[in-house]
Chains A and B, each alone.
Chain A
Amino acid sequence: MIKTTTQKDLLLYVYNETKLLDSDRIQRAIDGDPLLSNDYQEIVRITETLDVVCPAPSEEAIRNILLHA
């Protein structure tokens, strides 16, 4: 039976949560379907946009925590 690739599969694939065989199947589906490929690119674009920032705590907060250790 041929398994359809869904939006949920794409999300799992983008976040590296698919098994090897599934990854291969999903990549083939992306390569062979322009609409799916577009959806995949858009998910990647959003995740890359979220990636541009990563807030960090202050040094003071870390020092306070370690004082309690």
Chain B
Amino acid sequence: MANLHLMDDKDLVHLYQKGDQLAISELVSRYKQRIYSTIYFLVRNRELAEDLFQDTFIKILTSLKNKHYSEQGKFLPWALRIAHNLVIDHFRKDKLMPLQHDSDEYSVFDVLPQKGRNAAEQMIYDEKITQVRALLDQLPFEQREVVILRHYAGLSFKEISNMLEININTALGRMHYAILKMREMVQKQDINLRE
């Protein structure tokens, strides 16, 4: 039997389309963190992020079954485009298009306790995630979106520009201004999460 971990995305998609369930399990496992993080930091609510994450993969499965996936594109940018569209649809539907400072309340219950962390470690992690969210939340949506897609989704600036239909220099400019703003906040509040 082929080692699924070593197979590229295109071959896993082919296998799934031929009926191999393990192939989709490998794709989910490969990209779950990048896709979930992206959704989570965009919507800033764990329950909603979990729902949109599931909706994203259900849509992916339907597209793959119906052979609507184009092999010319890469799997991850395609999957993230689906996730991003669902997030934007959600905001449009609820007229909640996020603006700067639209949500400054955080709950540690928004973060799932991770396996292998004791209570003290979980508390430290909760504190870190609150601070990272505070850093991201001060950014205008367009800047936050680029930071999340580059940093947590792992898309290149070129892929981000394709996805958001903007010039690559615009994507880089948004990232640059986002870094300046976060840098100011880190310095002002003496944030050091790296230790």
- Chain A residues proximal to chain B, CB less than 8 Å: 7-8, 11-12, 15, 17, 42-43, 45-58, 61-62, 64-66, 68-69
Contact = CB atoms under 8 A, between A and B. Distances in A.
Nearest to B23: A69
Interface SS of chain B: helix
A8 B25 CA distance: 38
Nearest to A47: B151
Interface in B116-141: 125, 128-129, 132, 135
Nearest to B154: A15
Interface SS of chain A: helix
A65 B56 CA distance: 9
B101 interface: no
A55 B111 contact: yes
A8 B169 CA distance: 8
Interface of B: 16, 21, 24-25, 28, 32-33, 36-37, 40-41, 46, 49-50, 53-54, 57-58, 61, 111-112, 114, 125, 128-129, 132, 135, 147, 150-152, 156-158, 169, 172-173, 175-176, 179, 182-183, 186, 191-194
A53 B172 contact: no
Given A65-B28, A66-B28, A69-B61, A45 B128 contact: no
